[in-house]
Amino acid sequence: MSDAIATADTVQAPANSRSRVLFASLIGTTIEFYDFYVYATAAVLVFPHLFFPSGNETAALLASFAIFGAAMIARPLGAVFFGHLGDKVGRKTTLIYALLTMGIATFLIGLLPTYHSIGWLAPLALVILRLAQGFAIGGEWSGAALVATENAPAGKRALFGTFPQLGAPLGFIIANGLFLIVAAMLPSDDPSRPSEAFLDWGWRIPFLFSAVMVIIGLWIRLNLVESTTFAKTVSAGKVVKLPLGEVVRKNWRELVLGTFYMLATYVLFYLMTTFSLSYGRAPIDPAPGQLSGLGYSYNNFVLMLIFGVVFFGIFTLLSGVLADRWGRRKTLICVTLAIILFALLWVPLLSMGFVGVMLWLVLGFSLMGMTFGPMGALLPELFPTNVRYTGSGISYNVSSILGAAVAPFIAVWLWSVGDGSPFLVGVYLASMAAITLLALVIGKETRNMDINR
């Protein structure tokens, strides 16, 4: 009798304060995205020089992006593994494991010898550690989103769900800001290539710094308490033995819709971050074997990106307020239509010089915040509590294969086919956004869904 009373009291008591929920959901995704962006920046700036044989620069860049995309393939596997743990043993423990996996993989990348030292073992090791990064982030996002939304007050789930989403712009700013500081301390005489000191050891600093951030994140998450929503599921005996089988059997439609809801978000995300860095730094008058671009130095273009990403963060928060007021579906339909229009305006914007490029970055990242923010609530709301970690994680991460894994690679190919013009890259984004728009039209509003079901 006393055990039953204790269990009931535990379930009814508030699990976490609002500040603890918001900070815990924000800090973990910030670290995870920091680790992810550190690799993305190095994939453009460093890895083509250090981890592949010298030769055609475009081929080396494509190979670097191929390894970048390999992590996206591992993400659904991580979603299944960590989703199983999250739906069986709870959100807190699973998030700690995911954070440790990402941190260790990122730190080890910073210690890797290069192709010139050990040959093809270097890119092989890079692939393995990149897969580990993808595996980890496959379990991180959905857990952080669940911590935020399952502890949110009534009527504010979308707003609370934007806090784990804020980890993306914050992680980008910290990662690229640190790379920028290191590059500025080790200047290069050739603006198209990092300095020898940077290529020798400077690039390793952002990877090794990950260890410090992981320690901070672990300390915060160890003080987190399991959500009352999951505790009620345990108390009611609704935990299932195999969450993957359960969600595929009973919620396959939600899995499919959730995957395509995220498609435009992922493609826009990686075009505005990874591809744009390549396009912005490519010379206006290229040498044979190079692609033409905007011709900015690395330092200048990263500063421009960071300015744009500030709008990413601002509009991520704003999107939560709008999604709570208007509904997730209506908000995202309007935003997706705007993404299609933006994609078809790439060439006119990028032909307007510095002002046009800055407008392109601000508009792209603002739309990124508007489409990414509501996903923190929308995807978890699609699934019942006992399969929510698995279901939201699979949708989020399978979409990464369709969108993020191939986006930079396809973009570089379309860039080369278009003789240096980004027009076809914009058409690619518009096509993916049209698929997302169709999914949103087919889907239903989730704002009033019972999060405790």
Distance from C-alpha of 268 to C-alpha of 428, rounded to nearest angstrom: 10
SS (H, E, C) 4-16: HHHHHHHHHCCCC
Least confident of 192-196, 290-294, 365-369, 396-400: 192-196
Q: Which of 434, 416, 435 is closest to 425 using CA atoms?
A: 416
The tokens for 243 are 């969450």
Q: What is the pLDDT of residues 221-238, one digit of tens each?
A: 777 776 677 778 778 878
Q: How many CA atoms lie within 13 A of 274 on its CB side?
A: 30
pLDDT at res. 38:
84
pLDDT confidence bin for 8, thresholds 50/70/90: very low
Least confident of 180-184, 193-197, 252-256, 298-302: 193-197
Q: How many CB atoms lie within 10 A of CB 82?
A: 29
pLDDT at res. 2:
34
Q: What is the pLDDT of residues 369-411, one digit of tens each?
A: 999 999 999 999 999 988 999 999 999 988 988 887 778 778 8
Q: Which of 11, 3, 353 is closest to 150 using CA atoms?
A: 11
Question: Which amino acid, 167?
Answer: G
Distance from C-alpha of 334 to C-alpha of 340, rounded to nearest angstrom: 10
413-430: b (≥16 Cβ within 10 Å) or e: bbbeebeebbbbbbebbb
Question: Which amino acid, 110?
Answer: G
Distance from C-alpha of 91 to C-alpha of 233, rounded to nearest angstrom: 12
Name 59's Cβ contacts closer than 8 Å, sequence gap at least 6.
none
Of 383 and 241, the structure prediction assigns the larger pLDDT to 383
pLDDT confidence bin for 321, thresholds 50/70/90: very high
The tokens for 343 are 């994609």
Contact in structure between 282 and 294 (CB atoms under 8 Å): yes
Q: What is the pLDDT of residues 420-449, one digit of tens each?
A: 788 999 999 999 999 999 999 999 999 988
Contact in structure between 389 and 142 (CB atoms under 8 Å): yes
For residue 371, what are the CA distances in angstroms to 165, 189, 316, 376, 378? 10, 40, 8, 10, 11
Count Cβ atoms within 10 A of the Cβ of residue 444 and give its class: 0-12 exposed, 13-18 middle, 19 or more buried.
exposed
The tokens for 98 are 């995911």
Give the 3-state secondary structure of residue 128: helix
Calculate the CA 47 to chain-centre distance: 20
pTM, entire model: 0.83
For residues 50-68, average pLDDT: 64
For residues 181-197, average pLDDT: 76
Domains and CATH numbers, the chain: 2-442 (1.20.1250.20)
pLDDT at res. 256:
95
Of 373 and 92, the structure prediction assigns the larger pLDDT to 373
Name 396's Cβ contacts closer than 8 Å, sequence gap at least 6.
79, 141, 142, 258, 262, 375, 379
H or E stretch including 80? helix 57-88
Q: Which of 366, 69, 32, 321 is closest to 170 using CA atoms?
A: 32
**For residue 7, pLDDT beyond 50:** no
Contact in structure between 371 and 335 (CB atoms under 8 Å): yes
Distance from C-alpha of 220 to C-alpha of 20, rounded to nearest angstrom: 9
**For residue 365, pLDDT beyond 80:** yes
pLDDT at res. 103:
85
For residues 112-127, average pLDDT: 84
The tokens for 258 are 């959730």
Distance from C-alpha of 179 to C-alpha of 133, rounded to nearest angstrom: 19
Least confident of 13-17, 137-141, 168-172: 13-17
For residue 257, what are the CA distances in angstroms to 92, 125, 423? 27, 35, 29
pLDDT at res. 231:
74
The sign one gets for the Cα dihedral 287, 289, 295, 297 is negative
pLDDT at res. 53:
64
pLDDT at res. 6:
36
Contact in structure between 225 and 16 (CB atoms under 8 Å): yes
Q: Which of 103, 166, 99 is closest to 139 using CA atoms?
A: 99
Residue 373 is given by DSSP the state T
Distance from C-alpha of 265 to C-alpha of 369, rounded to nearest angstrom: 9
**For residue 84, pLDDT beyond 50:** yes
